[in-house]
């Protein structure tokens, strides 16, 4: 039975016009950074595509079939048909939406998944359709729809009205980097089971989202965001108590990365690097759709979103801008000149700052003890700074210091004997 014939015979996959429409939006429309919001991404892309009058299940299957035939991927075709047949058995009016996500996963794979991996994803989703889930997780088909949407269009993963930007960015990275692990985690959590991850971490379900009547996140977001938050905090239901009023700190976010992705990560803060240096570090991470890099930026001047986590998926050196996935369910382009004054930290692999000049602690400590620093003038009365040193030379030296070294410098120069003009370094 061909896919098109199957669809024609299956009433649950008939044209959805005037019956169903996709209404979920990126709930935040604010744009204080003058970023260019890409309307054909994330939740907007889904809404525009599915609500389009030309949308039809048969048309989508025809496109998938033609694509698979052109690329000679018959094994993938058979697996896709098997998955659609299993979906059809559930007789849900959401089956047409699942078809759209299949189209995006196979033809427009955001993360560049190959045929073998997509087949494994369909295998796992078929198994999940037949799993016995906890009633609190809702209908199995809706959970599969939510997971498939996450994998096919990761920029649609949204925190909605909660302050969960950091865990939402981590969720997006899991969906992109480890799609099968992502499905395994959600599968276990929806069954109210503890999951033992690939990185040997126990991930426990947290159903505290049931306590809120205003939580509009998808079911996959509710399950995995709460569990990641719980993984990093020992208190039970800390998410429900703090999730609306405060997210993860930079150190707790970094802890989550180590627990979920391994030890080969480093937290690069703007305290340790100049704006130019931290942008160079971001550039050296080589962010892409398959290699998202989480950063934290000062997104608004005040309010709950002053510090906001996003995933960088492109660094355009020619145009001098970056492309991000904003966990409000959209993608944006931000100018690097704006980024320099707004970026707070980067989380990436531990060698991304290898080209940034640093002064090793042992040399710095020796210089500090002997006062052989570039601005010191030592006398028997007090320590003074050489105010004739050029700003260029001074800044070059200071930019080679990390936060701890800068603190030591301030302590070493602190003296009531110093005049105002001598305190330039502080």
Tokens 């302050």: give the residue.
163
- pLDDT score at 32: 73
Read off the pLDDT band of 394 (50, 70, 90): confident
CA–CA separation, 94 vs 96, rounded Å? 5
Task: Give residues with Cβ within 8 angstroms of 183, minimum separation 6.
Answer: 121, 124, 125, 128, 147, 151
Confidence of residue 419 (pLDDT cuts 50, 70, 90): low
Q: Is the predicted pLDDT of residue 244 greater than 50, yes or no?
A: no
Q: Which two tokens stand for residue 383?
A: 């320590």
* The pLDDT of residue 191: 97
Q: Give dist(CA 82, CA 137) in Å, integer.
A: 24
Q: What is the mean pLDDT of the chain?
A: 85
Cα distance between residue 382 and residue 373, in whole Å: 15
Burial class (CB in 10 A: 0-12, 13-18, 19+), 12: middle
Q: Check: CB of residue 333 under 8 Å from CB of residue 323.
A: yes
Q: Is residue 212 very low, low, confident or very high in pLDDT (cuts 50, 70, 90)?
A: confident
pTM of the predicted structure, to 2 decimals: 0.88
DSSP-assigned letters across all residues of 169-207: HHHHHHHHH-HHHHHHHHHHHHTT--EE-TTS-EE----
Question: What mean pLDDT comes out for the span 265-286?
Answer: 94
- Are the C-beta atoms of residues 166 and 224 closer than 8 Å to each other? no
Kindly report each contact of residues 21-24 with a partner whose C-beta sits within 8 Å and lies 24 or more positions away, as own/partner.
21/50, 21/51, 22/46, 22/47, 22/50, 22/51, 22/97, 23/47, 24/158, 24/216, 24/218, 24/329
Contacts of 317 (CB under 8 A, 6+ apart): 283
Compute CA distances 240 → 27, 64, 222, 254, whole Å. Answer: 20, 42, 11, 21
**Structural contact between residues 337 and 348, judged by C-beta atoms closer than 8 angstroms:** no
User: Phi and psi (nearest 5°) for 59?
Assistant: -65, -40
pLDDT at 344 over 60: yes
pLDDT at 237 over 50: no
Q: Burial level of 254, CB count in 10 A (0-12/13-18/19+)?
A: buried
What are the Cα distances from residue 338, in Å, to 13, 283, 314, 341, 342?
47, 15, 16, 6, 6
280-336 pLDDT, tens digit per residue, is 999 999 999 999 999 999 988 776 678 899 999 999 999 999 999 999 999 999 999
Longest CA–CA separation in the chain, Å: 96
d(CA 31, CA 163): 17
In sequence order, the 6+-apart residues with CB closer than 8 A to the CB of 373 are 367, 397, 409
Reported as half-sphere exposure (CB side, CA atoms, 13 A), residue 279 has a value of 18
**Taking 70 as the threshold, does the pLDDT of residue 380 lie above it?**
no
Give me the sign of the Cα torsion angle 308, 287, 170, 254: negative
């Amino acid at each position: 039975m061909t896919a098109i014939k199957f669809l024609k015979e299956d009433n649950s996959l008939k044209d959805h016009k005037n019956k169903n429409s996709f209404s979920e939006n990126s709930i935040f429309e604010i744009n204080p950074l003058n970023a260019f919001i890409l309307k054909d991404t994330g939740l907007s892309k889904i809404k525009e595509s599915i609500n389009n009058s030309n949308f039809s299940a048969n048309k989508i299957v025809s496109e998938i079939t033609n694509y698979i035939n052109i690329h000679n991927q018959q094994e993938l075709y058979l697996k896709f048909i098997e998955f659609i047949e299993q979906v059809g058995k559930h007789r849900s009016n959401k089956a047409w939406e699942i078809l759209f996500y299949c189209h995006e996963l196979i033809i427009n794979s955001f993360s560049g998944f190959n045929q073998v991996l997509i087949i494994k994803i369909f295998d796992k989703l078929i198994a999940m359709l037949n799993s016995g889930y906890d009633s609190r997780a809702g209908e199995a088909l809706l959970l599969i729809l939510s997971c498939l949407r996450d994998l096919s269009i990761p920029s649609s993963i949204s925190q909605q009205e909660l302050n969960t930007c950091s865990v939402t960015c981590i969720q997006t990275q899991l969906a992109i980097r480890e799609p099968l692990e992502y499905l395994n985690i959600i599968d276990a959590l929806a069954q109210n089971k503890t999951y033992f991850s690939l990185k040997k971490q126990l991930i426990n379900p947290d159903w505290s989202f049931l306590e809120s009547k205003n939580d509009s996140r998808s079911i996959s977001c509710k399950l995995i965001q709460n569990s990641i938050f719980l993984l990093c905090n020992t208190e039970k239901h800390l998410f429900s108590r703090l999730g609306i009023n405060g997210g993860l700190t930079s150190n707790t976010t970094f802890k989550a990365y180590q627990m979920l992705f391994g030890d080969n990560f480093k937290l690069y803060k703007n305290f340790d690097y100049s704006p130019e240096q931290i942008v160079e570090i971001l550039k050296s991470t080589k962010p892409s759709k398959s290699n998202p890099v989480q950063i934290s930026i000062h997104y608004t001047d005040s309010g709950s979103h002053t510090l906001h986590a996003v995933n960088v998926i492109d660094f355009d050196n020619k145009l001098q801008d970056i492309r991000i996935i904003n966990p409000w369910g959209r993608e944006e382009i931000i100018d690097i000149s704006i980024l320099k004054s707004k970026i707070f930290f980067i989380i990436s692999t531990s060698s991304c700052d290898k080209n940034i000049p640093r002064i090793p602690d042992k040399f710095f400590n020796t210089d500090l003890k002997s006062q052989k620093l570039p601005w010191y003038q030592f006398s028997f009365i007090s320590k003074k700074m050489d105010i004739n040193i050029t700003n260029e030379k001074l800044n070059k030296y200071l930019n080679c210091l990390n936060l701890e070294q800068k603190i030591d410098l301030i302590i070493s120069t602190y003296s009531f004997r110093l005049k105002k003009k001598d305190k330039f370094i502080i």
